[in-house]
Every structure is written in structure tokens, then in C-alpha cells.
Structure 1
Amino acid sequence: MNRRLVAVFSAFLLVVAGCAAPVADPSAANDNSDAAVGGADPDPDPDADRSWPEDPPTDRLGWEAGYWYDESIAVDQSDGLNDSEMEAFVARTMARVEVVRELEFEESVPVEVVSRAEYRNESDASTDPVHSDWNDQVWEALLLVGEDRTIDEVFDELYGGVVLGYYSPSEGRIVVVSDDSQPTIDRRTLAHELVHAAQDQQFGLDRSPSTQDAQLAHSGLVEGDARYVDGLYEARCEADWDCVPRPSGGGSGGGSVDYPVFITIYTPYSEGPTFVSDLRDRGGWAAVDAAYADRPTSTEQVLHPTRYPDERPVEVTVEDRSSAAWTRYDTDPAADTVGEASIFATFWKHRAVDRASLQQAPGAYSPYNYTAEPSEGWAGDAVVPYRPASDETYEANPHERGYVWRTVWDTEADAEQFERAYVTDTLERSLNASEAGEDTYRVDDGPFADAYRVTRDGDTVTVVNAPTVAQVDEIHERS
């Protein structure tokens, strides 16, 4: 489980600025929602005299906190937002999100604007060192983050510089990160985070599955819904709504981006909107709503929407064959599942797939294409990290670690493709591994310098990693 993936973050600025896929609302051309919610017809001249409908006796779609979705508001962000401007901006955006998403807010949503420096300070939360060490082995098993750094360090660099904002389910509030000296809010970011608030109020966002792949899959629905809606929202701004101008300039706040890790955690934002669009095509917003009671369980389902909900991942187990010198971590669960999207990122990093394919033939609402032969056909996997059984050895040798990673594939041919991409393209070509015994390879230099045993049995491939060739059998004895 990756606790850093549990948080519901908004889309990354880097991607919003340059990689957001266009979204067209199929109902926008013949939108009758004005009459349905009791608002006036959109006026192309926002400065003209308008008379707005009376406030409804009870709450309804398209009206929030005294503002109709198509009502003009006086908001000027050139000198920041004052309290009255913030109130009007948030309330009207809530009303508009209701119209687009056809989902009612049950209560108001507090919105706070913080500087990027304040956000970095707030996000410097302490972590469980045992879990962090265990999680480092999961990312090392993916050959994405080696022994020269930790995944927490990578996330701190990435999130600290490129996050636009987030919604906190535990607090029921939105925090928007501003790079301006005076507080401003990007309208699309605000709409995105308000979708999360509506999701939380209607379906609940305070639970998370236990594995990395399932977390990314759940986020594929949650973030995909929000990204899809914020795209529809922005399309209405460009077509017929009078919208608050987006702040000029801005940037990523100087964050460092590890692109292969970014590709992994960006999966929900890239592939989620197409997944949600597919659900909506099947049965309207009701089908999207229903998915919250039966959320996707693997990134395979998000990457290939036709496999949802029927094609579930198989349960993969790894029997403990370690010697007395090694033990599993005292974590619950002891194993993680990384899934198809993370495996794609591994092969993309090490050029086992054509890097240009990432931006070739993406989904209708996706900037990237995560489909590749060595990672497609995934049926399930389990990564079990190992550490020295002696606490003294464990604490004195931070790189004395290992893992067993077992993957199961739909067919033997799929397993062969994965094995070939892992051994030939990744270990031997990318990491300069040399043969060190039967099915065993050694990487001598770099952050992934270790011993690896790779075996295939039909549709199952098992990778055993250890600091030395002699220790491979100590971590997982051959059957």
C-alpha cells in the first residue's frame, strides 16, 4: 500500500498547462438545463442589465448559497480575492458543477488559498519508517526508484512543486495552492476540487484499498470523474458561460519531476476521464454514480474500460521460503500489488517499449497511452519485500533488502512477452546485467545493483531479488 497515493490531489499543473485533453460536452449544443433549474438563459453580454430569478424555497441543482449557475458575479483577481469575491466565486462554481455533473451538494465547502511555501510546510508530514522502508522495496521492485533515494523523497519533490490544490475528505475542505503573492484561484482547479467535495458528500471518499494498483484504480474513477467534469466545465466557459478569467502566468513552483514515477501516479488523471466517459456512454451519469458502489479494482480496468466490471485481478500468493536470516516486514498487508500501469512505467523508463508510444493514439479524453504488449495481458501480481531478520543487521545495513515479485498473466504468450522485456530489454540492455547462474543475473553498478533470479512457469513469472547471488536462495529457495 502506498499511503502517499491515498490523498485526493487535483491535476498537476505541469499536465494541466500542456497536456490536458480537450473535452466536449455532448449535451452542450442542445442544453435545456437552464429551464430545468429555473435560471435565466445565458447572456452573451455579462454587463447588460439582468434580472435574476428569486432564490428557490429549497436547494436545487444549479443554485447554491444565493447564486444561480448562470448569474453574473463581480470578481477581479488582479489584486487577489477578497472575502465577498471568494464567496461568490465558490458558490457560483458549485452551482455550475451541479449543472454539469447533475449531482447536488449537500452542504457548503470551505475553500482556503495557501502559498506554495505554506503547502510544502503542511505536506511535510512524518511517516512510519518501517512502512516507508517496505514501500521503497516495492518501488525498487518496479526498477523505478533505486537505492540512491527513497520514494518519499521523490514524492516530496514532485508534489511540493506541481500540486494545484487538494480536497481533504477528513476535513471536508478544499485547499488551493497559489503561486501569486496575492491569493488567486484557477476556475478549472476550483471546479475540479468541488467535484471531489460533491463525490465525498454523495458517495464517500474516506476509504482506500490496501494495494498500490487498487488505489490507482479507485482514483481512476474519482479523479477521472473530476477531470472529465472540469473539462466539460471549461468547455462551457469557452462556449457560452461568462467565467472568471484564469490567472495569468503561474508555473510548477520549481518542483523536480521524476517522469517515470510521474507517469505511474498520473494514471488516474490521464486514463480516468476516458474510463468515466465510457461509463457515461453506457448509462449516463447514473452509471458513473453506480460505479462508486463497485469501484474499479485494477488499473487494467481503468486502462481498458470494457474489462470493467467483470474482469477482476486474480489473487496471487507468494509462499515464504526464506531462510532464518531473512524475514518479511511487519506490515499489513505484507505484499503489495503494482498492476499494469506501474509495469508500463517500468518498461517505459528502461526503453523496453517505444517511448514515443506514450503519446500515440491515446484515449478520447486521455493525453497518454499506457497500453504496450509487455504490460498488457496482466492478470495479477504480488510484491513481497524482505529484510534481515536481525534488527541489528537491518538497522546497520539500509540497503540489505530484497523482494519476491510474482506476476500472473492471461496467457503463456503474455508471460513470455513480460519475461523477455524484463530480462533482455530491462536487466541486460538498460541495467547492463550479466548472467550469474541459472536464470540469475547480476547488476554491478548503479542504484539497482543487486542479484536477480527470473523464472517462468507457464503464465507465471517470479522475480527474486537479493543484494548478492548467494542471498537469492536465502530469500526465496528454489522449489
Structure 2
Amino acid sequence: MEAVRFFPYDQGFAFVDAVFQEGGWEAVENIYTNPPTTTEQILHPEKYFSGEIASEIDATDLSTILTAEWQPVFQDSLGEWNTFLVLTAGTNPFTRIDSSSAQLATAGWNGDYTQIFSTLTGEHLVIGHWTFDSETDAEEFFTTFGLYNSQRVVGDLIEINRFPCNRDSNQISCLIIKEDNVIWVLAPDIQVTETILENYQFLLSE
């Protein structure tokens, strides 16, 4: 994907230029010993200057509650940039969100942990957990991601484990917000969805 390949040249160049404008060549040289720790710091140099770091999400390794057929493909943070790309650069052009809306939605990113699993028969399972700088930022992301989600999974609105979910003929998608947290579950069937959502019952508490 070109957006990933050119990130160091486009956004990376803009970041270095911002550092130079802030503190000259000495500040640029200091990047080698104090590099940015997140794509958020690269996209928003002021967060690099202030030393703002991502929040760590205490996420359960969901492979421990799934059956053996589900093999982990990815278990890590997407970061702000890849979260932006989820919204804007998917393989289905009909689900893509315009860049301006996606930038506003992801600007309040404060951390995430995403887990992707697949089976040998070609089924896929995605669980994303994001946290944001404020509840307002979370609501903005929830609204924009909800638009993406509704375009990706077009079907019936159902309830699973007391959570609202969308279901079409191929998959089930649940999008949940609680304070400054947003959870997304994309699963192939109700049984797998129920298994995952059991891990998030704490979100239903007041």
C-alpha cells in the first residue's frame, strides 16, 4: 500500500521539518537518541515535543479463549496512522471515509490494541480496542467509524450479549463505546462473536 510505503518520506519529512523549525539541526540530531515512539508523534509534532506517549491497553490475549482453529495473524497496536488507513484505504472503495473526516476522527487517538485471527478455511476475526484523549474524541471516532462499519456490514441490527451489532450474510460487526474507549468486533458468526463479547461484559457496567 503506497500510503504505508511513503509514510517515512511524506509525513516523516514533515515531522523532521517541524523539529528543525522548533530547535534547528541540534534538535534534528537529537531524534536519533530520542526517536518518536508513535505515529501520533510524527503526525502531531507538538505531541513529540511535549513527550506525550500512548496509553497502554490492558488487553486479554484472545487466543486463550478461542478454539484452536483460530490462529493469530496480528496482535499489536495499529497506531494513529494505520487506524486512519483502516477508514480511508480499505480494499472496498464503497466503505472508504474521506480523508478530512478520518483525520478529525483519529486525531484524538491515545492508544490501541488490535488482534486479528484467521482459520485455514479462510474465516477472519478482528478485535480492535482504541482509547482516546477524551470522551469527546472517542465519540467523534465512534461516529465516523460507525459510518465505515455500516457501509462494510450492511444488514440486520441484532443484539448479542446485550451489545448492538450489524449482521449480513457473511459476518457480524459490533461497535461499542464506553467513556474514552471504543471496541470493534468483526466476526464470521454469532458463536464466535459471543465468545469475544464475553470478554467485554465490564463495558456494560455503570
TM-score where L is the length of structure 1:
0.36
Per the TM alignment, residue 440 of structure 1 is displaced from its structure 2 partner at its CA by: 0.9
Aligned to 2:80, the other structure's residue is in SS state helix
Q: Supply the distance in 2 between the matched residues of 1:440 and 1:430 (Cα, whole angstroms).
A: 12
Q: Deviations over 1:109-152 (max 9, x none)?
A: xxxxxxxxxxxxxxxxxxxxxxxxxxxxxxxxxxxxxxxxxxxx
- 1:442 equivalent to 2:167? Answer yes
Does residue 307 (structure 1) correspond to residue 32 (structure 2)? The answer is no
Deviations 1:428-470 (A, max 9, x none): 13542431223211243xxxx4211211110001112211123
Pair 1:433–1:287, CA change in 2 (3 A): farther
The 1-side partners of 2:11 and 2:140 are apart by 23
Check 1:443–1:302 CA distance in 2 against 1; reply closer, same or farther (3 A cut). farther
Change (3 A) 1:464 1:270: same
Percent of aligned pairs with the same residue? 25
The answer to whether structure 1 residue 352 and structure 2 residue 97 are counterparts is yes
Q: Measure, in 2, the Cα distance between the counterparts of 1:420 and 1:329.
A: 31
SS in 2 for 1:292: coil
Q: Secondary structure at the match of 1:419?
A: helix
Partners of 2:153 and 2:173 within 8 A in 1: no
Q: Distance in 2 between matches of 1:269 and 1:443?
A: 40
Partner residue in 2 for 1:15: none
- 1:272-421 equivalences under 5 Å are 272-309=12-49, 310-320=51-61, 323=65, 325=67, 329=71, 335-349=75-89, 350-353=95-98, 355=99, 357=100, 372-387=103-118, 394-395=119-120, 397-399=121-123, 401-421=124-144
Residue of structure 1 equivalent to 2:195:
474
- The amino acid across from 2:112 in the alignment is D
**Which residue in 2 is equivalent to 1:56?**
none
Q: Aligned runs of 1:193-204 on 2, under 5 Å?
A: none
TM-score between both structures, scaled by the size of structure 2: 0.79
Long gaps (5+) in structure 1: 1-260, 359-370, 388-393
* Coordinate RMSD, CA, aligned: 2.6
Alignment of 1:32-431 (within 5 A): 261-309=1-49, 310-320=51-61, 323=65, 325=67, 329=71, 335-349=75-89, 350-353=95-98, 355=99, 357=100, 372-387=103-118, 394-395=119-120, 397-399=121-123, 401-423=124-146, 425-429=147-151, 431=153
Paired AA for residue 56 in structure 2: E
- The superposition leaves residues 290-331 of structure 1 with CA deviations (integer Å, 9 ceiling, x where unpaired) of 111111111111111111041111111322466452577468
Aligned letter for 1:374? A
Asked if the contact 1:405/1:462 (under 8 Å) is kept, the reply is yes
State the alpha-carbon separation in 2 of the partners of residues 452 and 431 from structure 1: 7
Q: Which amino acid aligns with 2:97?
A: A
CA–CA distance in structure 2, aligned partners of residues 471 and 324 of structure 1:
8
Q: CA deviation at 1:352?
A: 2.9
CA distance in 1 between counterparts of 2:152 and 2:192 reads 23
Q: Which residue of 2 aligns with 1:59?
A: none
Work out the CA distance in 2 between the residues paired with 1:372 and 1:429.
18
SS of the aligned residue for 1:374 comes to helix
Q: Deviations over 1:13-40 (max 9, x none)?
A: xxxxxxxxxxxxxxxxxxxxxxxxxxxx
What's the CA shift string for 1:136-178, capped at 9, x where partnerless? xxxxxxxxxxxxxxxxxxxxxxxxxxxxxxxxxxxxxxxxxxx
Distance (Å, rounded) in 2 between the aligned partners of 1:428 and 1:412: 22
Aligned mates of 1:327, 1:409 — CA distance in 2: 33
- Residues 432, 443 of structure 1: 8 Å contact kept: yes
**Which residue identity does 1:457 align to in structure 2?**
K
Larger % of strand: which?
Answer: 2
Answer yes or no: is the 8 Å Cα contact 1:279–1:287 preserved in 2: yes
Do 1:431 and 1:443's aligned partners in 2 also have CA atoms closer than 8 Å?
yes
